[in-house]
Amino acid sequence: MIGYARMYCQVNFGLPVVGKPFKRGITTLHSFSSMTRMDSSTVTHLSQSTADSEQSTTLTNRSLVWNARSKNSLPDRVLLLDGKAMVYRAYYRITSRVSKHSMKSVTRGDSAENSGWDSSLTTVVALNEILNLLELDPSHAAVVFDYPGQTFRHTLLPEYKGNRSPTPDTVWDAVNFTKAALLSMGVQVVEVPGVEADDVIATLASEAVEAGMKVRIVSPDKDFFQILSPQVRLLRYLPQGSGFVSFGVEEFGQKFPGLLPSQHVDMQALVGDRADNIPGVKGIGDVTARKLIIQFGTLENLLRDRALITQSRARTTLLLDTGEALLSKKLLLLRLDVPAFAMQCSVQSLRCKKPKDVREYTKLVEALVDLVGTTTSDNLLERTVEYWRRLETQT
């Protein structure tokens, strides 16, 4: 029998269902309730990341995150979240915690006994992570998901992302539950057929900048480096899951001395991206690629004048290039011009507002946390009600 939460999503929101039916778990789950919200020290203070040498910032200091002089001077603020990355993050936080405490693993084959419990808990953790970010009080927000299926990049390279492991059923279910919960919460969910979430986010960010808004993008994807500007910054997770750091043009300059954000795609085209099966140019690493792009300005200039390269190994390698470098750049370059008819939304339509009927959200959350525990349910509902209250005071 299909579990209530899965059936609720299917009937009320028309969302596809992937995975096996729910079966009520018998494991005590109260020990997991602490994971659904970061402790106060994590939310109010972010330690410095020594791995990336990125300057941390305080999430609860909204003026600092939005680079405003004071709360009263905040401009229109757009928060764009990579939805699947948020769900995956929740999933891996749970699996690491489960493994650490030698408790039931959520990666154990997505069996019928585990899948409902796993996806419900993953969804609750993801929603609490999103609520952490909504505490920044954006004026506009959207959670963007990849639309299932191939994109134009698969036409350029059929093997694009072909080396990735299949998405676990638990994650697919949690993605669908999260979409349903966000929609009933009043948070915009955006997905465009044939277009990756990164391109949708980049297009919305570009539109927001043209409208004079400030943009913050929540994603671990380094491809967004290419669109950094004084108006666009990334909120990136710290390596050990202890919070976020704000990463902008200044931090980019510290990480890649001499390189402009717009040149990152040229550098990455030389290096390639193994995670996405993007070839790059064999034998050229980060350091050499950065030096070459700084010297020649763009990948196109470098390929045109490749005979002038003084480094013999890099020159030989690039003289043998038969189009892999330019193909890699086409694959890595974010679209800033996804057509309006495909988007079916504009950045202005993403204004945050309380839903007219909050009962749908309450019912859905209660269904999702049926296997997780009452404490977690109350916490999530209380935080959402507080978010709605803040929205009402802003209008």
pLDDT of 32 over the 90 cut: no
What does pTM read for this prediction?
Answer: 0.82
What structural domains and CATH numbers belong to the chain? Answer: 77-99+112-257+337-393 (3.40.50.1010), 262-332 (1.10.150.20)
Alpha helices in the chain (DSSP H): 4-13, 40-44, 62-65, 83-100, 112-134, 152-156, 169-185, 197-210, 249-255, 264-271, 286-296, 299-304, 312-319, 324-332, 340-343, 359-368, 374-394
Banded model confidence at residue 68, pLDDT cuts 50, 70, 90: low
Banded model confidence at residue 164, pLDDT cuts 50, 70, 90: confident
pLDDT at residue 94, as a whole number? 85
pLDDT at residue 340, as a whole number? 92
Q: Per-residue pLDDT averaged across 267-293, rounded?
A: 96
pLDDT at residue 50, as a whole number? 26
Q: Which residue has the higher pLDDT, 87 or 31?
A: 87
Banded model confidence at residue 263, pLDDT cuts 50, 70, 90: very high
Listed range (36-40, 198-202, 255-259, 275-279) with the worst mean pLDDT = 36-40
Listed range (10-19, 32-41, 124-133, 349-358) with the worst mean pLDDT = 32-41
Q: Which residue has the higher pLDDT, 12 or 145?
A: 145
Banded model confidence at residue 208, pLDDT cuts 50, 70, 90: very high
